[in-house]
Amino acid sequence: MTTRRRVPPTLLLPALLTALGVLLPLSYLVLRAFGAEAGELREIVFRVRNLELLGNTLGLALGVLAAGTAVALPLAYLAARTTFRPRWVLTLLGVLPLAIPGYVGAYALIAASGPGGTIQAVTGLNWPGPSGFWGALGVLTLFTFPYLFLNLHAALRAQDPALEDAARLLGRSPGQTFRQVTLPHLRPAWLSGGLLVTLHVLGDFGVTSLMRYPTFSAAIYQQYTAAYDRVYSAWLALMLLAVTGLTLWLEARLMRGVYLSRVSPGGARQPARVPLRGWTLPAWAFVGLLAGAALVVPLGTVLYWLRLEQNPYALAGLAEATRGALGAAAVAALTTTALAFPLAYIGNRYAGRAARLTERVAYLGYATPPLAFALALIFFVLRSGPALYQTFALLILAYTLHFVAEAIGPIRTSLSKATPRLEEAARVLGAAPGRTLWRVTLPLMRPGLLASAAFVFLSVLKELPLTLLLAPTGFATLASNVWTYTEEAQYAAAAPYALVIAASGALLTLLILRREK
C-alpha cells in the first residue's frame, strides 16, 4: 500500500546519494568525451570503425536474443505444459547455466576444442575451436538463455487456460491455439527476459574478447588499457550507452498497453498438461544436447584440465584469489542490500514522482554496461579524488551502485507481503519508528533481504569488467585469474579458479531456487 506522505530524510538521503553516485560519473563521462577539440571530435565520431562496432554489437545482441528464445521457449514449454518426467531435470537445466559466467564457458569451450583439446583427448576428434561471431553467439546463448527460461516458464505456469479452452471450442487446432493465444500472452515475459539478455550481451566483453569478435565493450577495454586513448574510449562508452538507452526505450514502448489479466472467474486453475507421445525421444534428445553443451562439456573440460595442472604458482594463488573474491562479494552483498532497503521501502510505501525517480536512477546504474560505468567512475575519481583510484573502497562502491537494482526486487516483494497495518499497530502502541523498523518490519523482510544478498553475492563473484578496471594493484579474484590465464592460453592454470567459480555459483543458484520455491 503506497501513500503520499513526505519521505523521511533518513530514507531520502541514501536514495539521493545513490542518484548522485550513478549520475555524477556518467555526467563527467560526457564532459570528458566532449573535452577534445572540434577537429578531433569529428575524426573520432565519424570513424568507419564505429559503424563496424555498432553493427557487430547489434547483430550479436539480436542473434543471442533469437537463439536464446529458440532454446528457452521449448524448454519452458516442456517443463510447464507437458507430461515430461522428471520435470526437476528441466528446471535445473534452465537455471544452472547461470552459475557459469560467460567467460568461464568461453574458456572451457576453447580448451575443449582444437588440437590437444578435451574433445580430441577423449574421442580422438579434432573439433574446430569456436571463434568470431558464431563462437560468441553460441557461448552467450548457452549462458544467458536462463533469463528467458525463468520468465517464460513462470508465465506459462500462471497463464489462464480459459482462453486456450475457448480457442479450441471455436475450432482452432493445437498449433493455431499456441500461435494465436499462448504466444501473445508470453509477450511481457519474453520482453522482460529479453531485456536482461540484451543488456548482458551489450555489456559483455569477456566472451567477445576471447572469441576475438570486436564489439563496443571489447573496444572500450582495448582503447583504455592498450591504446591509452581516453577520449576515444569515452566516446565508445557513450555510444554503448546510447544503444542501451535505445534498448530500454524500445522495451518500454513494446510493453505499453499490454494488459493480460485473468478472464475466468473464481480461483486460478492449472493448464492441462499435453502428453508427449511420439515427441518423447525428440524431447529427450533436445534436453540431452542442451545439457551436454551448457553443462557437461564446460564442467568436464574444467575437470580435465584440472587433472593436468602442474603449475605450483597458479595453485598457490588459488587460496588468495578465493579469499579476495569471497571477501569482496560478501562486503558488496552487505552494502548493496543495505542501500537497496531504503530504495525499495520508498518505492513500496510512498507514492509520487520523487519515489519513482529514486528507484529509476538505481536501475540506470544496472542498465549501464559495466565497462562504461567503470570508465565513468575512473574519469570522475581521477578528477575529483585521485587517492580513491584503484582502492578497495572504490571497487565496493562500483559493485554497490551497479548491482543495487538487482537487490531491490526481492526486498520489494517481501515488503508487498508485509502489510503496513502491523507497522501502524506498533506505532499506535507507542513504538518509535526505529524500534518499529527493527522489531516488526525487518523480521518480516528477512527472506527478501537474504535473497537480495545472495543475488548480489553471486553477481559480484562472477563480475569481470569492473574488477579488471577498478581493483587495487595486486588484488586478485577468481574472475581476474581465469581471465589472465585464459588470455595466455594457460588452460590448466585457469581450471582451478574456473571450478571454484562454477561450484560456488551452482551452490548459490540452488539455494536461491530452493528459497524461491
Highest mean pLDDT among 59-63, 380-384, 498-502: 59-63
pLDDT attached to residue 66? 96
Residues 39-57: pLDDT tens digits?
A: 777 877 778 888 999 999 9
CB atoms within 10 A of CB 128: 11
Rounded Cα gap, residues 316 and 320, in angstroms: 8
**Lowest-confidence pick of 282-286, 467-471, 485-489:** 485-489
Per-residue model confidence (pLDDT) at position 447: 72
* pLDDT-derived band at 59, boundaries 50, 70, 90: very high
Residue 55 confidence (pLDDT): 93
pLDDT in tens, 387-417: 888 899 999 999 999 888 888 877 776 666 6
Least confident of 134-148, 230-244, 359-373, 481-495: 359-373
pLDDT band, very low/low/confident/very high, at 431 (cuts 50, 70, 90): low
- pTM of the shown model: 0.82
Minimum mean pLDDT range among 52-66, 392-406, 441-455: 441-455
Position 483 confidence tier, pLDDT thresholds 50, 70, 90: confident
**Placement of cell 576471447 in the chain:** 210
Cβ atoms of 261 and 185 closer than 8 Å: no
Q: How confident is the model at residue 349 (pLDDT cuts 50, 70, 90)?
A: low
> What is the reported pLDDT for 516?
54
How does pLDDT run across 236-261, given as a tens digit for each residue?
888 888 888 888 888 778 876 555 55
What φ, ψ does residue 85 adopt, rounded to 5°? -130, 140
pLDDT in tens, 164-180: 667 667 767 766 777 76
CATH of domain 47-258+277-308: 1.10.3720.10
Distance CA 373, CA 376 (A): 5
The pLDDT of residue 20: 83
Determine the Cα angle at 457 with ends 212 and 468, to 5°. Answer: 35
**Spatial distance between the Cα atoms of 406 and 337, rounded to a whole number of angstroms:** 9
Of the listed ranges 78-82, 200-204, 258-262, the least confidently predicted one is: 258-262
Question: When comparing pLDDT for 430 and 37, which is higher?
Answer: 37
Ordered alpha helix ranges (H), 223-369: 230-255, 280-291, 297-307, 312-349, 353-367
Candidates 1.10.3720.10, 2.60.40.10, 1.10.510.10, 3.30.300.280; CATH matching 7-25+310-517 = 1.10.3720.10
pLDDT band at 266 (very low <50, low <70, confident <90, very high): very low
Q: Three cell numbers at 1?
A: 500500500
Per-residue pLDDT at 139 exceeds 80: yes
In this prediction, residues 132-152 reach a mean pLDDT of 91
User: pLDDT band for position 67 (50/70/90)?
Assistant: very high
107 versus 346: which is more confidently predicted? 107
CA distances from 94 to 152, 233, 487 (A): 11, 36, 29
Average pLDDT of the chain to the nearest whole number? 80
Distance CA 154, CA 517 (A): 12
- Judge whether residue 229 has pLDDT over 70: no
pLDDT (0 to 100) of residue 71: 95
Task: Provide mean pLDDT across the span 427-441.
Answer: 60
pLDDT tens for residues 113-124? 877 777 777 777
Check if 7-25+310-517 and 47-258+277-308 are the same fold: yes
Q: What is the mean pLDDT of residues 466-482?
A: 87
Measured CA to CA, the distance from residue 335 to residue 344 in angstroms comes to: 14
HSE of 476, CA atoms in CB hemisphere, 13 A: 16
Q: Contact, 154 vs 186, CB < 8 A? A: no
Q: Is the pLDDT of residue 501 over 50?
A: yes
Q: What ranges do the domains of the chain cover?
A: 7-25+310-517, 47-258+277-308
CB distance 241 to 368 below 8 Å: yes
| pLDDT over 60 (residue 111) | yes
Is the pLDDT reported for residue 133 higher than 90? yes
How is residue 96 annotated by DSSP? Answer: G
Mean pLDDT of 325-349: 86
